[in-house]
Amino acid sequence: MKFTLKDYQRDAVRDSLNNLGKARRLWRNEADRTAFSLTAVTGAGKTVMAAAAFEALFHGDDEFSFDADPGAVVIWFSDDPSLNEQTRFRFIEASDRINYTDLVVVENTFNRPKFQPGKIYFLNTQKLSKNSLLVRGYDPEEMVAKLDGTFPDMRPDLRAYTIWDTIQNTIEDPDLTLYLVLDEAHRGMGTPTAASINAKGTIVQRLINGVGSVPGIPVVWGISATVERFNTAIESAGKHIKLPNVVVDASKVQESGLIKDTILLDIPDETGDFDTVLVRRATDKLKESTSAWSAYSKQQQESHAVVPLMVLQVPNTPDPNEIGRALDTIFERYPDLPAACVAHVFGDHTTHRFGNRDVPYIEPQRVEESTWVRVLIAKDAISTGWDCPRAEVMISFRAASDKTHITQLLGRLVRSPLARRIPGNDRLNAVDCLLPKFNRTAVEQVVEELTTGNDAAAPGRVLMDYIEVVPNPSASPSVWETFEALPSQTRPQRGAKPAIRLTALAHELSSDNILSGAGALAHAHMHSALDKFQAEHKAKITDKRKSVLVLDGKTVKADMLDQGRSLEQFWEDADVAVIDDAYRRAARIFSPAIAHSYVDHLASQEADRESDPEEFLEAVVEARVTVAGLGLVMEVQDYFDAQADNLAKHWFAKYRPLIKALSDDRRESYRQIIEMSTEPQDVGMLKPEARYEATKSNENGVVRALPFWDGHLLCDQTGKYPADLNDWERTVVETESAKPGFAFWYRNPQQPGQASLGIAYEKSSEYGIVRPDFLFFAEHDGSLVVDLIDPHGLHLADALPKLQGLALYAASHSAVFRRIESLAKVKESGELRVLDLKRQDVRSAIAIAEDAEALFRSGLADDYS
C-alpha cells in the first residue's frame, strides 16, 4: 500500500481477510456460499481498506498472515458508473501492488467466456439491465423456461457470451473463486422480505442469489455506511452462510482525523425569507475559509494549498432565476472570485443558464481535482458515494421537508481536506451548513439525523448556536508550556508489531534528515540482537534448524487378519517448498524486511556476494534455514519485540525536539508511528488556537442560554467561556476556583484531538479512551502546578474500567500532577466523594475492585471539599 493504514483500518482489513479466507475454504471444500458486510461511517476510508484486502487476496500479505488466492476474481458493483470510476482511481492512488491493467471497467464491448483471475471488474446496475448491450434482452430465467424451444442457446446481437454467461462460467470453473463486492451495499436491495427476494428481485439480488441457470455468486461482501438492508436481505434469502460482520468503531475514525470534528449549522432566528442574508453569510464563510487555509498553507510551507469549495444545494425542480440571484449575491460579496468558477452536477449533463450566467456541467468525481470550481450547484444525486474533501461550506435551498437529502449530502462533506486533523484549529476542522428554509424545530431534526446512526451519521459535534473561543490573553506562555507538557495517551493497537514500528520510524527520521542512514542502523541493531540471541540459545536453535531440514511423520500399518494397528516413524529431507514455508512463518515474527536483511547479514559472513556469487547463494539458503529455525524458538518473539521497542523509544526520546520543530504534516506521520503499539503511549498536548463552543442548549424543546465562566484557558472577546455544567461539575469548578493560588481551569474536550488529554482503559480486551473533565492550573510555592479532577459517572457500564485506567495512568504519571482525583456522587447520601489516585492503597483497591460505587462509599474515599 502507498498509504499507511490507520489502526482501525488495519483491524478491519484483518477481520475482512479472515472472512475472505474462510469463505474461500467453504466454497472450495463444501460448495457453500457466504456473505458478510463491512460497516464504517462516511470518510473512514472504506475504499482504502478494500484496496489493502485485494492486495492480500491477489498477492498474499505477511503482516496479516494471509495467503494469496491464485484463482481470485473480484466484481466491484455499484449503481453508478461515475462512482465506479472514482473508486478505480482511488485504487490506483492507494495500491502499489494492483496494476492499472488489473482494474477493468466492463464496457458494452466486453465479450469473454470467463473473468480472468487477479483482476477487479467494475460493473454497475445499468450494465445488467435488459436494454444493456451486454445483455440486450437475454434473461437467464426466461432461457430456462424456453429450454424446449427452438435455438435455446441463441445470444443477443450474435454475441458469443453475455455477461450472465461470463459470470456463470467463472463460478463453475473449479480453479476460480468469484468475489462480489457491493459498494454502497444498502442500495439496490429492494424491500428486504423473503417474498421479494425469492421472486424475480432486483438486479443485485439476482447476482447474489442466482437466477435461472446462473448460480449465486460464491462470496458476497457488502460495503456501506449502513448495511442493515443488505444484511436483512442475505439472511431472508437464506442462500448464503452469514459470516461475522466487520464493524468499524466510529469513535476510532474520529480519533484518526480523517473526518471533520465539527459541523456548524446556521438558520434564521425568525420566520421570513432570509435566502439572500444567508447566501451572503455563506459567502463570507467561504472567504474566511479561503483565507484561513491560505495562511495555514504559508505557515506550514505546504506545496499543495487547499482551495475551499461552496456547495449550493437546490430542489429537484429549481428556479433558474432564483439560483441566478444567489450567484449574483455571491459574486457581489466576493468580487475576487473568477467569473468562470461555477459548475453544476445535474443529471442531464448539459450547460444550464442561471440568471445571466451559463454554468457548465462537471462530472462529480472530477470536482475535487478541478480547483477552478469554487461554487458547485447540486441537487441530491451527488450524495451517493461522492466526496469532495475541499467542500467547506454548504447552503441548501431545500425545504425543511427534505431534511434527509440535506443530511445525506452534508454527510459527504465531512472528510478532512488533508486527511488529517489540523492541530488546535477548529476553524479548519469544521464544515459550515446554512439552511435558510429551516426553522429551529426542523433543524433539530437534522441534528438528530446527523448524530443517531443513519446513512450520514457523523461521530463529531453538531453545533447550532455557537461562538469561537481563543486562548485567554491573561494566560502566560509558561501556562501553555505546562499545558503542552502534559502526557496524553494513545489507544493501543491490536496486532501492532514493534519491528514494523521501528523500521517506519527509521524511514521517517531518514526522510527528514534527522538521522542519516536510520534504516541501515535499525537493521544493524536488530541483526546484532539476533546474533546475541543465537549465541545464548545455540543448542535450541541447532535442534530447531534440524527440524526445518527434516520432515518426520508416522506410517499407520493395519493388520487385516488380526485387526491390529502399528505405527512406524519415518524421516524425509525437507524440500525447498517446506523450507520456504518455514522461513515465511519466521519472517512474520521478524518482519519480512528485517528477515531478508538478516539472511544477507548471515550469508555475507560465509561468502562474498561479488567474488563468489554461487557460494553466496548457497549461504543464503543456509541462512534462510537458520532464520526459519530461529522463528521456532519460543522465546525469540518476546526478545525480538523488546529489542525493537527499546530502540524506537530511545530514538523518540532523543529526537523529540527535532520532530517537534517539523511541520504539522510531518509531525502527524510520527504521531501515527507512536500509536503503532500494543501498549498505551504518551504523546504531548498542543495549545488550541481556536475552538467552537455552544452558547445554548435544547432540552425537550426548551432553548436556554448557557452560563459564561471566568478563568478558563479559552475565552471569547469578553474573557468568558460558555459551558453547560451539571450540579456537581459546577460544584467542582466553583470549589477549585476558590482555592488559594488558583490561576486557570480547562474543560477537557470530550472529542479527540491534540488539545484533549486522553487516558487509555481496557474493557473486555478492547481499549477505549477516557477524557477527564477538568484540568486546574495553580501557583504553589512559586511553581505552576496542575490538578486533574474527573467527576466520574457511576451509572455507566464502563465506570469501573475507566476508573482502573485512570489509576494506572496516575501510577506512571504521579510526578506530573499535584493531584489526580476522581469524584462521584454516592446514591445514599448524595454527597460528593473523592478518591486520591496518587495513593498506592487506593490504586491497589481499584485494581481488584468489582464495583466502582463501593470504592467511593468505602473508607478509601473522602468527602470532597
Residues 707-760: tens digit of each pLDDT: 999 999 999 999 999 999 989 899 999 999 999 999 999 999 999 999 999 999
Q: What is the pLDDT of residue 558?
A: 55
Q: Residue 91: how many CB atoms within 10 A of its CB?
A: 21
Q: List the alpha helices (DSSP H) in 412-497.
A: 440-451, 477-484
343 vs 358: CA distance, rounded Å:
9
DSSP lists the bridge partners of residue 361 as: 344
Q: Is 566 exposed, middle or buried (0-12, 13-18, 19+ CB in 10 A)?
A: exposed
Q: What is the pLDDT of residue 233?
A: 79
Query: Measuring CA to CA, which residue among 713, 853, 729 is closest to residue 784?
Result: 713
The per-residue pLDDT for range 637-650, each reduced to its tens digit, is 999 999 999 999 99
Closest CA to 773 of 832, 730, 816: 730
Tell me the sheet residues that pair with 784: 779
One-letter identity of residue 325: R
Helix 636-660 vs helix 518-536: angle between axes, to the nearest 10 degrees? Answer: 160
Query: What is the per-residue pLDDT across 549-579, written as a single tens digit (0 to 9) for each?
Result: 875 544 455 555 555 565 555 445 556 778 8
- Cα–Cα separations (whole angstroms), residue 840 to 151, 788, 798, 814: 87, 17, 22, 11
pLDDT at 830: 79
Does residue 523 contact residue 507 with C-beta atoms inside 8 Å? no
Exposed e or buried b for every residue in 121-131, given b needs 16+ CB within 10 A?
Answer: bbbbbebbeee
| Mean pLDDT, residues 178-202 taken together | 61
Predicted TM-score (pTM) of the model is: 0.85
- Taking a C-beta distance cutoff of 8 angstroms, is the pair 414, 460 a contact? yes
* Bridge partners (DSSP) listed for residue 224: 39
Phi-psi region of 782 (alpha: psi -120 to 50; beta: other; left: phi over 0): left
Torsion, Cα 36 39 44 47, to 10 degrees, reads: 30
Taking CA atoms, 145 is separated from 82, 167, 559, in Å, by 36, 20, 57
Residue that is written with C-alpha cell 444550464 in the block: 352
280 pLDDT band, cuts 50/70/90, is very high
Q: Mean pLDDT for the chain?
A: 87
Q: Hey, what's the cell of 547?
A: 527440524
In this prediction, residue 12 carries a pLDDT of 96
* Residue 20 CA to its chain's centroid (Å): 20
Average pLDDT over residues 53-63: 94
Q: How many CB atoms lie within 10 A of CB 337?
A: 19
The torsion defined by the Cα of 141, 143, 149 and 155, in degrees rounded to 10, comes to: 160
Q: Assess contact for 490 and 760: CB atoms under 8 A.
A: yes
Q: What is the pLDDT of residues 243-264, one digit of tens each?
A: 999 999 888 888 899 989 998 9
Can you tell me the distance from the alpha carbon of 753 to that of 260, in angstroms, rounded to the nearest whole number?
A: 11
Neighbours of 113 (CB within 10 A): 12
What is the structure's pLDDT at 131? 67
Asked whether residue 154 carries a pLDDT value surpassing 60, the answer given is no
Question: Tell me: the pLDDT tens digits for 660-671?
Answer: 999 999 999 999
